[in-house]
Structure 1
Amino acid sequence: MPTGPHPSPAPVARPRRGSRTERLAPFALVAPTVLIVVALRLWPLALGVNFSFTGDGDLNGTPVGLDNYATLLGDPLFRTALGNVGLLVLLLPVAVAIPGLLATAIHLRVPGHRVYRAVYFFPAVLSPVIVGAIFTLLLGYDGPLNDLLGVVGLGPVDWLGDPDVAIFAVVGVHVWATFGMALVVFLAGFSTLDPSLLDAARVDGASLPQTLRHVIVPGLARTIQFVFATTMIGMLTSMFGLLFVMTGGGPEASTYLPEYYIWVQQGQLDRPALASAASTALFLVMLLVGLAQVGVLRRAGREG
């Protein structure tokens, strides 16, 4: 065979670097959102933190260091509020599991799933004041729920007057009123789940608990993390309306939460600096709890 000089390889075209305008375009697009977040969120947060180190009353505007935080730690009401935060953390898996299981049933198309989708979301559009007023009547000592318990032979329960029961009653009402949003998020997560995995589990004869554990939960790991975080934030920052209408922080301050404590200090006792310190403490609690939840869920996902 004749041989000849091999042709030199064609030069590889280097990708053309974008112009300066193209490189800056993404930053220009996100700049308005960043400015809004800084102006309406981060800057007021920084002002609140700074204000928490000043005094109230005659010491208004005077730096007092950590005195407000020492006052918080010495206040039994604030310690009760923090204890109730711990209770909310323990109840959080239940608050997440309820919409998760309902979303699973709807996704698996149980009979009437379209009706259930609308019915479950309906409470989410109601005002907390309206929900609180309705359940104050239902859970009253002489209310319909205790009448129903009497019919089946169970004694009446002082749902809103017993310090050991009231916080559970209010949290239960909050979960009922708000889990519709988490249900929507779970349904959106199901739309990203590979249906072939469910089909394979069904063909292999996997039971529903096995399908939940080995297919649905790993497939919705990021959705579950998001719902955990948003549900916890909602519990810590969106229960004021229910507390105000249903218990007023009672009985015996057993239903105090940090946001209700903040309102009392600011709105009733005119102690804005102490309220700012409590707000800062609430922010730190939410941050630590959120980071801990994400860490635990990620570790569980890797082990799964």
Structure 2
Amino acid sequence: MAAHSVSSVDSAAAGSTEGSASRARASRPVTAPARRNRRGSRAERLAPLVFLAPAVLIIAGLRLWPLVLGINFSFTGDGALNGLVVGFANYLTLFGDPLFLSALRNVGLLVLLLPVAVAIPGLLATFIFLKVPGHRLYRGVYFFPAVLSPVIVGAIFNLLLAFDGPLNALLGGLGLGPVDWLGDPDVAIFAVVGVHVWATFGMALVVFLAGFATLDSSLLDAARTDGASLPQTIWHVVVPSLSRTIQFVFVTTMIGMLTSMFGLVYVMTSGGPEGSTYLPEYYVWIQQGQMNQPALASAASTMLFLIMLVVGLAQIGVLRRAGKED
């Protein structure tokens, strides 16, 4: 009985000692290593923001702020009304201008031709990835036009597509007759877009090849084992596996068509014939550089931005939906 009492006293004393020790630890100030760990975790959380800050500031200062200023300027007048708020008058002028309406129709045409502009580098990248004979040579040849200046490309094709040029001479030899590639309003825009696709698909080709580097080769092996044809392999294996890459190429190609064809249009057609090759960016340059109407040009630039935003978001939505269905 005495022994039991002694053990109880010892247990109580031990519990009291542990409680005192825990209270002492709780009241003890935070040590230097603990403070360093807290500082380290806070620094780790802030590090990505610090690295992103320069890029965000550059984009905000050189892209977003000028965009806001341009949108604001589009609601002011030109000439005698310079600096005065005119509301939506510039936008009403745009939609009453046949040249701007022609530019909008050409934007719709570009959207319709976009799948072709993406499919061409996609198919060529597929052939290179499958290592068709001469694929190393083709890789360099296909990319070569991308390093040429649009002015040089336009000058070359002005000679090739002239009414008395070599292409019409070839067609004449085949009995097909000459085509006024750059003088026919129904043909000129297709000629300019075709030259643009030829001159720029090398960059999309590089992006597709980078996407193929992430493709699981076992899927291709399984398709070959199951006896799938090349079109079936492309549609059921390659396209679903490269859905992200295809989305990126679609958006960047569309942006390139809307914002990078000024050089070709200026050199090849100057917006003609009859305004049939006008695009929004060329219209902006005409209003700003030749007509001295910066407010109207700002309104056209704002419309171009909205067009790219809507078309880009629509493309991403459609491609994502198609990817989920696959």
TM-score with structure 2 setting the length: 0.88
Query: Which of the numbers 222, 237, 259 marks the counterpart of 1:215?
Result: 237
Structure 1's 78 and 201: CA in aligned 2 closer, same or farther, altered over 3 A? same
Read off the aligned partner of 1:238 and give its amino acid letter: S
Taking the aligned partners of 1:224 and 1:16, their CA distance within structure 2 comes to: 43
Query: Which of the numbers 286, 289, 293 marks the counterpart of 2:311?
Result: 289
Query: Which of the numbers 195, 199, 203 marks the counterpart of 2:221?
Result: 199
Matching residue of 2:148: 126
Number of residue pairs matched? 290
Is structure 2 residue 299 aligned with structure 1 residue 277?
yes
Matching residue of 1:159: 181
Unaligned runs of 5+ in 2: 1-36
Residue 18 of structure 1, CA deviation? 5.0
Residue 123 of structure 1, CA deviation? 0.2
Identity, in percent, stands at: 80
Higher Rg: 2
**Paired residue secondary structure (1:19):** helix
Residue 302 of structure 1, CA deviation? 1.1
Residue 300 of structure 1, CA deviation? 1.0
Matching residue of 1:254: 276
Query: Which of the numbers 24, 44, 48 marks the counterpart of 2:66?
Result: 44
**Paired residue secondary structure (2:95):** helix
Matching residue of 2:257: 235
**Paired residue secondary structure (2:245):** helix
Query: Which of the numbers 158, 161, 168 marks the counterpart of 1:136?
Result: 158
Taking the aligned partners of 2:135 and 2:273, their CA distance within structure 1 comes to: 40
**Paired residue secondary structure (2:219):** helix
Matching residue of 1:12: none
Matching residue of 2:125: 103
The 4+ residue runs of structure 1 with deviation greater than 6 A are none
Residue 20 of structure 1, CA deviation? 2.0
Taking the aligned partners of 1:231 and 1:301, their CA distance within structure 2 comes to: 19
Read off the aligned partner of 2:162 and give its amino acid letter: G
- The one-character-per-residue Cα deviations of 1:186-212 (angstroms, maximum 9, x if unpaired) are 000000110110111111111001101
Taking the aligned partners of 1:300 and 1:138, their CA distance within structure 2 comes to: 40
Give the structure with the larger helix fraction. 2
Taking the aligned partners of 1:67 and 1:156, their CA distance within structure 2 comes to: 45
